[in-house]
Structure 1
Amino acid sequence: MDRPERLQNAEEPILVPQGVSLGYARVPTAEQSLKSQRQQLVAAGCYDVYADQGKSGATMARPQLEACLRALQPGNTLVVTKLDRLGRTVRGLVELLDSLKDRGVAFRSLSEGIDTTTPQGRLMFNIVASVAEMERELIRERTMAGLAAATGKGGRPPRLQPHDVREARRLREAEAWSLDRIAAKFKVSRSTVIRALRQDGLSGAGYAEENPDSSPREPLDGPSAQTTPDRRPGIPR
């Protein structure tokens, strides 16, 4: 079957033969090639292929996609090589799929094996779209965490927050709790409690070791810690 002739700067043909498939391809940058997607779509039996180059999938406003959607008629099938070529959000994809269904147009995605002419295919479409969106969210979260760590704003937060440090100090000083008992209460190690109680004040901003001669120390190994003329009460080794 001959494809409709395309004229430069002219509107795409609105009508295509009933029962044929139209392919859609997209790459997000002008430097990327559409050749592989075109080849796959032609091999899949597409009657014609529409392609957007240098267009993000974050928006549905893509000229060739709009032309493809205008050309689709009842009985036609829209084919893409991969689901994310069509869109990047579950909501946008589902809305587009619903509009195609209302028009009597089917949908296929080659990589995921999705074919909405079957109930299984429609179910698979929703599952794959949801997983793809979740994967993008996880990638974005990891990227933001990496950027924060690179600029000194990330890293692992302290195990004991300021209010935990205040409570630990109260239990130690007022109620004479042992270090092991305090550690068990807050579900941290004994050394974490020791480092927290070594800090000047109760800010709990960090747990780096302080100079023993410049930080106030307290008898943390029991209420009856001994002192000597040359030694202040210290942290148990």
Structure 2
Amino acid sequence: MRAVVVGSGMVGLTTAFELLRRGHDVVVVSVDPVSAMTSFLAAAVWFPTAAGPSDRVAVWSAASFTELERFARDGVPGARMCESLAVYRDEPAVPAWSGTVREFRPVRPGGLPPHYRFGSRFAVPLLEMPVFLPWLESQVRRAGAHWVRRAIRRLDELDDLEPDVIVNCAGLRAGPTPHRSPCCTTTATAAPVSRSPTAVPAKWQLSSTRCERRDRRSHPGAGRASDQLTG
């Protein structure tokens, strides 16, 4: 299968990487170099996203953790395990993901920041993106991806690349891209092309955020005020 991946940020490179590992022909289309991507400056620490369906997100999160932990163990540039502290103002239930992370344990009040009464510590993977993303790009190039520097307004502008499937991994900065026959996935929009209507989602997803603090709007614990501090 010939797949055209639009975008060379974290999602685009991950999608290209996984497709190449499965033996597909991959073309990466991006107007900017990897160093200009939003992903290049984003913090990237593993944490379950407040997205649904919850049962599928749990499976994806666990798969992500296993892969990223392997990166840290194998010494992949920019990948390491780090200690995280989640703090709560109200007593939370034990999170469903506590069995996925490493060394999950409660924190006594004396070990918490002011104004917080409950907390837990655990080890999770962290990616230093200015180091990790260039490494990922090098792996994609080494695996044989074709690179096309191009700005597009519509996905049908990629017809000359003869794709079997187009996976739109352009980030928010790129704005909306009109496309044909959309099929939504959790991390990208895949537009099957008539020659072979196959959509392939990325294997693992990663939640990237500029800040290390998460409040109750993004935390899986329903409605409880909480923060995650990563060291």
Q: TM-score range by the shorter chain?
A: under 0.3
Larger Rg: 1
In proportion to residue count, which structure has more helix?
A: 1
TM-score after normalising by structure 1: 0.23
TM-score after normalising by structure 2: 0.23
In proportion to residue count, which structure has more strand?
A: 2
| Larger RCO: 1 or 2 (CA < 8 Å, sep 6+) | 2
